[in-house]
Structure 1
């Protein structure tokens, strides 16, 4: 079924209520078999480095699923592995290729009503770089969060982009291991 709303600049193809482009992106997220798995040290280290570069109390490596954001690596939010997708900051980041920065969420029109801003966390600063796969899908983010407003330097933002690229490289290595293990398992089954 096609959404042909003449007011929108594009018509999107939908299947079961999900845009086909989003369906492809979700398939890319799932091929790495990282969501709903125990935290992996590689992603926790990336989050740690991001937080250290920005000197923020919270940093995460996130994957944006259909209805939630899975934290593959996290520092500063103990016991949290997922958050809702809406009204998601990470979901906004994956709509673009550039680093997404909010210097003061208390006055930024994009975040005035956001629960992380109004709630207990008191988010004020947020910077995130999208994790882009080699085939062009934006899976999630490497992000940093602080409860005080601040400015980020161009060098810090570049570091965030490099960390996101490192996560993408790590995901490709993970995929090679997953596929190799599956091939070995099939080979063993065929021998018996």
Structure 2
């Protein structure tokens, strides 16, 4: 299967912009892969900057959110997209902040707020590719309300940019390996 082939025929009824975004998510071949150290370190730094027990690097697929890295939640690699906070984040360019989810009208009935996790604080920066697609988020989560300062929020944006840079490096390796394979096939 080539990078440009449409292996996802079920996307025919999906908005063309969302189709393009999903193709961008898949071109990096990170979904359904083991955790890589670079993304794990970014999640760790995000959690350390905010002092939160949970931090993730996520990619938003059509019907799920893949956690490329997750600090503070053992054994969790994916969650449903709906109702999703990450999906709200990728709909915008700015950092998304919820200081107290128990009183924020955007999250009053959210299952992560009302459920076992008891989410109260959430801050996330969208991971934006160099060609403009918002693929996922770098986020921090806590079960107690808190206020994030502007420096922390800027740092979160920088971490999301670092993830985008790492994804571009990953893509270069994927493309180089494919080119080398094609070259070997033509020589033989």
Question: What's the TM-score bracket when you normalise by the shorter of the two chains?
Answer: over 0.9
Q: Quote the residue 2:44 is aligned against.
A: 48
The runs of 5 or more residues in structure 1 that have no matched partner are 1-14
Residue of structure 2 in register with 1:128 after alignment: 124
Residue aligning to 1:144: 140
What residue number does 2:105 align with? 109
173, 176, 179: which is aligned to 1:180?
A: 176
Q: What stretches of structure 2 of length at least 5 have no aligned partner? A: 1-10
- Alignment partner of 1:144: what SS? strand
Structure 2 Cα separation of the partners of residues 182 and 141 of structure 1: 28
For residues 127-173 of structure 1, what are the alpha-carbon distances to aligned partners after superposition, in whole Å with 9 as ceiling and x for unaligned? 00000000000000000000000000000000000000000001000
Q: After TM superposition, give the deviation of residue 16 of structure 1 in Å.
A: 2.3
For normalisation by structure 2, the TM-score amounts to: 0.94
Q: How does 1:16-165 map to 2 (within 5 A)?
A: 16-165=12-161
CA distance in structure 1 between the partners assigned to 2:102 and 2:29 by the alignment: 36
CA displacement at 1:190 relative to structure 2: 1.4
State the Cα deviation string for residues 108-129 of structure 1 (Å, max 9, x = none): 1111111110111000000000
- Between the two proteins, the alignment pairs up a number of residues equal to 178
**Aligned structure 1 segments of 4 or more residues deviating by more than 6 angstroms:** none
Over aligned residues, Cα RMSD in angstroms?
0.7
TM-score when scaled to structure 1? Answer: 0.92
> Deviation of residue 189 (structure 1)?
1.3
